[in-house]
Structure 1
Amino acid sequence: MPATPNSPHPRQLVAPLFGLVLLLLLGVALSLFHYYQLSQVMRNDGSKLFERVVQQVGRELDNVYRPPMQALNLLSLSSLVKTDNLAERLDYLPLLARVLIDNPQLNSVYVGWHDGDYLMLRPLLNPLSQQRFAAPQRAAWMAWHIGADGSQRHNSYLFLNADLRIIEARMAADEGFDPRQRPWYAAANSADQQLVTTPYVFFSTREFGTTLARAADNHAVLGADLTLDRLSDTLRQQRVTPSSELILYTGEGIVIAYQDPQRLQHTTQGSGALEPRRFQELGSTLLATIALDGYRQQRQTVKELEGQRWVIQQQRIGIQGTPDSYLAVLVPEAELLADAYRLRQQGFWFSLAASLALLTLGWVLWWRLRPEL
């Protein structure tokens, strides 16, 4: 059918339609380009953010270890290590208490002498610790002393109030404890610097923990206990996202701290002894998969695990005196970059909507001007 005098020739419609289609394709192309460019920027920025997070965790762990180490250095210079009876040692309880007050992450602080004498001070912070030692109601501190009077050895508990005044002295059962046979004593006595032990079971509380220790000349060895629960609390406070995993472990894979401390210990079959868990024994498929690559890893990588992408960083923690320790931080990429993903998606749909709006406007203008073509 021939075109009417007022209607445009079909050839006249081709150029405007082609322009509108080209405008739409250009808008979609720009939206996709913006989307993928932003994705690349997000990954680069996410990597830098992740490195800052790992550095922050490292600083927090350094803050856990360094102050009590400095306190032990000062204690080693005091005359406490040269005392040889309980009466003299009681004068130093305020000094030991100050170390514990200034370092609430510590479970106890103590001295083991070369003749087998021992003095330990611990705070009774909660009903559980008071119940464990059947402490009097007003007791805020407990001191444990082992000493000799001639050939007779005395093993006693001293319960003290908040002012460090003795409210009850009690003879304790002799359970064969000798500080010289404990791992912290042997390690520090043969070392020329302060150190941190690998995790082991504390004698008096049966808790897992590590000991900061240092020798004091030829007189004694000083120690301070950190439970794995306390170290794990530090990691839990540094969690980046709800699903992130943080784990501190030795080069042999023994876990020092984990965000879920209830999963840190288990009883070995047969012997019934308590032992710390290894990296791959925490009941996490994710951690078990990472452990297959080896414990002594220093890397940042991305892996597809458990249905999502994980950003993984493993690095050695270089705190003087600590065992060969590594920190692993695993964060789901979707959670790490949640805000960036949202902004990227919003930007893509905004660009696409703007292109469609321009296309619609162009179509309307073309339709109205069509009779003039």
Structure 2
Amino acid sequence: MARHTSSALVPSAWVLLAISTLVALTLGVGLAIFHYQQQSKVILNTGETLFRHISQQLETELLRLYQPPAQALNLLALSDLSSTISLEQRLNYLPQLAQVLVDNPQLNSLYQGWPTGDYLMLRPLRTPSLRTRFNAPSDAVWMVWHIQMDPEASKAVHLFYDQQLQVLEQRELFNDGYDPRQRLWYSQARGSGAQIITTPYIFFSTSEFGTTLARPTTSGSVLGADLTLGQLSHTLAKLQLTAHSQLLLYDPEGTVIAYHDVARILNVAQGTALRLKGFNELGSTLLARLAEDGYNQERLTSMVLEGQRWTLSQSRIDLAGLPETYLAILVPERELLAEAYRIRRYSVWITLIASLVLLPLAWLFITRLTRRRV
């Protein structure tokens, strides 16, 4: 009778062992899923914080780019440069103009246009390519371009200066018809009566891209400064969250101001004018798809694009005195949640290993318990 009872209890031991193993695995997998879900929520919430942090950093960068030159133009507008009528008088103000350019390396050039059509520009020759372009002396650091309008014949000259603003060479130029009064920066500033910022474009003389700050003076002349925006793309590249995330700044018309891959911003197609690309011209079907929804979007959402789910943030960077700008951040969720995936995978493996380790102990415990009952 005892032997029959013992043999009957053996299957019960296997049943108990199977049930305990199943419970352990279920609890382990359940905990792994729970941890994954909680970790995913934490990471997604952290992602929102990161998006806001990136936006704040770019706001700081935009202020750093725009505010100092804008303040410098306001101060220059108070000088007597606007009341000068000859090249000799205007050259006395070169030290002031040069100091503004030294203090603001993001400026490509600084200039002033008069109601008579006269024009004065000071340009730093910071690169060998600029010296080559203007055939400047090897030790030239500054170049002045001056146009003196005359009813009979206007005069244009280039003057090259060294670091100490000592003149190295003066060249008479053929006036190609440049008239500051016909330029957009001049007419917009005169029309608004206040400081303006043009939409981004390619600077003809250097092929850099940027925008022009301009403001009228009390005498009717207009001060202008060309501000390059290339540094913004380098800032975006440093802020890239994952290997395949995409960050870009663009204006309300969809023109890209900055992109983490700066080489893709310029449209250099043969036979076309050099210009900045639009939101949907960067060679990305992902961005082209987003452009279909319009450019002036402000949202934080996720969507399936190009066969995978992306976390998308679009926000407006609206700073007083600066042009309206939008920031788009796109991150593949599989990359954003890579840490959560890793934790889930490790949790499952830990559960399986723990179950395998505990299985012999459970078997030993159950068999001993069975023998005692027998």
Q: Which residue of 1 aligns with 2:233?
A: 232
Give 3-state SS (helix, strand or coil) of 1:223's partner: strand
Counterpart position of 1:304? 304
* Whole-angstrom distance in 1 between the partners of 2:232 and 2:29: 51
Q: Which residue is 2:294 aligned to?
A: 294
Measured at CA, do residues 346 and 210 of structure 1 come closer, stay the same or move farther in structure 2, by a change above 3 Å? same
Aligned residues: 372
Alignment-mate amino acid for residue 128 of structure 1: S
* Alpha-carbon distance change, 360 to 226 in structure 1, aligned in 2, over 3 angstroms: farther
Distance in 1, matches of 2:301 and 2:10, equals: 58
Residue 183 in 1 paired to residue 220 in 2?
no
Instruction: Kindly provide the amino acid, as one letter, of the partner of residue 84 in structure 1.
Output: I
Show the counterpart of 1:121: 122
1:366 maps to 366
Q: Which residue of 2 aligns with 1:316?
A: 316
Deviation at 1:32, TM superposition (A): 1.9
Letter in 2 for 1:329: I
Q: With structure 2 as the length reference, what TM-score do the two structures score?
A: 0.88
Q: Which secondary structure state, in structure 2, belongs to the residue aligned with residue 9 of structure 1?
A: helix
- Cα shift at 1:138: 0.3
Partner secondary structure for residue 157 of structure 1: strand
Structure 1 residue 214 corresponds to structure 2 residue 223? no
Once the two structures are superposed, residues 151-193 of structure 1 have per-residue CA deviations (whole angstroms, 9 ceiling, x without a partner) of 5422111111111211111112211111111111111111143
Query: How far apart are the structure 1 equivalents of 2:152 and 2:188?
Result: 28
Query: Equivalents in 2 of 1:64, 1:231: separation in Å?
Result: 9
Residue in structure 2 matched with residue 165 of structure 1 by the alignment: 166
Q: Mind listing any 5+ residue stretches in structure 1 that lack a counterpart?
A: none
After superposition, the Cα gap between the structure-2 partners of 1:359 and 1:183, relative to the gap in structure 1 and judged at 3 Å, is: farther
Q: Which moved more, 1:93-102 or 1:360-369?
A: 360-369
2:207 and 2:18 map into 1 onto residues whose CA distance is: 81
Asked if structure 1 preserves the Cα contact closer than 8 Å seen for 2:142 and 2:165, the reply is yes
Q: What is the alpha-carbon distance in structure 1 between the residues aligned to residue 77 and residue 354 of structure 2? A: 72
Q: How far does residue 356 in structure 1 lie from its aligned partner after superposition?
A: 4.5
SS in structure 2 of the partner of residue 3 of structure 1:
helix
Query: 2:95 corresponds to which residue?
Result: 94
Other-structure match for 2:243 = 242
Distance 1:60 1:333, change over 3 A: farther
Q: Counterparts of 1:37 and 1:155 in 2: how far apart (Å)?
A: 70
- Measure, in 1, the Cα distance between the counterparts of 2:331 and 2:339: 15
Q: How has the CA–CA distance of structure 1 residues 8 and 110 changed in structure 2, closer, same or farther, with 3 Å as cutoff? A: same
Q: Can you list the C-alpha shifts for 1:90-118, whole angstroms capped at 9, x where unaligned?
A: 22222212222221111111111222111
Q: TM-score, normalised by structure 1?
A: 0.88
Per-residue CA distance 1:309-359 (angstroms, 9 max, x = gap) = 322221222133444332222223333444454345434533554454444
Contact kept, 8 Å, 2:36 with 2:340, in 1: the verdict is: no
Partner amino acid for 2:310? W
- From the superposition, tell whether residues 274 and 53 of structure 1 become closer, same or farther in structure 2 (CA, over 3 Å): closer
Q: Distance in 1 between matches of 2:53 and 2:203?
A: 35
Please state how far the C-alpha of 1:41 moved relative to its aligned partner.
Answer: 2.1
